[in-house]
């Protein structure tokens, strides 16, 4: 009987040590979790602030410069034709991925500037009527607008349209 009692006491001590270990480090883990949550809540751990601004399109169209203008509700793009031949743009649209989507487009005057767009020529395009406020875009925050440019080559004609997808991820100003 004495042997069984000794084994029971040893087993009980091991269980108590394991429980104390878990309790002590469980509280420490909980404190760390609360600290990280507080940092994230107050915006200190906002990964979007660490990412650089960018404007990326397919190889056919190169984005030279960009501006997301909250005050005037537009996106300004400086684009270069890398198709290698003369193209004519028929539509340039932008939209966001937010819950309340931002949609904006180049008006007829802007599209007219993109007619007979020569190879390696740089053109300015403005997407207007972007309702940033409705989508919750704030000045100083980084936001993303997905841009679609539809064009056709002068050789191919209107019957053969092409589409280039682009993305502007920038600090709204």
Q: How confident is the model at residue 114 (pLDDT cuts 50, 70, 90)?
A: very high
Q: What is the pLDDT of residue 16?
A: 76
As for how many domains the chain has, the answer is 2
pTM for the model: 0.75
| Token pair belonging to 9 | 């006491």
Q: Are residues 69 and 87 in the same domain?
A: yes
Q: Are the CB atoms for 128 and 69 separated by under 8 Å?
A: no
Q: Are residues 104 and 154 in the same domain?
A: yes
Q: Are the CB atoms for 82 and 63 separated by under 8 Å?
A: no
Answer whether residue 84 shows pLDDT above 60.
yes
**Cα(127)–Cα(93) distance, rounded to whole angstroms?**
7
Q: Are residues 41 and 60 in the same domain?
A: no
Contacts of 44 (CB under 8 A, 6+ apart): none
Return the number of other C-beta atoms located less than 10 Å from residue 74's C-beta.
19
Residue 121 belongs to domain spanning: 51-171
CATH of residue 139: 2.60.40
């Amino acid at each position: 009987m004495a042997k069984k009692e000794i084994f029971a006491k040893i087993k009980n001590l091991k269980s108590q040590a394991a429980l104390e270990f878990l309790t002590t480090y469980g509280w420490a883990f909980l404190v760390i979790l609360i600290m990280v949550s507080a940092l994230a809540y107050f915006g200190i751990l906002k990964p979007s602030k660490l990412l650089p601004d960018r404007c990326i399109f397919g190889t056919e169209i190169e984005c030279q410069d960009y501006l997301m203008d909250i005050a005037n509700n537009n996106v300004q793009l400086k684009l270069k034709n890398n198709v290698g031949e003369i193209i004519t743009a028929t539509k340039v649209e932008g939209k966001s991925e937010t819950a309340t989507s931002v949609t904006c487009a180049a008006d007829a005057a802007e599209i007219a500037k993109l007619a007979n767009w020569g190879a390696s020529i740089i053109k300015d395009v403005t997407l207007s009527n972007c309702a940033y406020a409705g989508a919750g875009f704030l000045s100083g925050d980084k936001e993303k607008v997905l841009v679609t440019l539809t064009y056709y080559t002068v050789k191919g004609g209107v019957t053969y349209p092409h589409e280039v997808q682009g993305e502007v991820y920038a600090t709204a100003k």
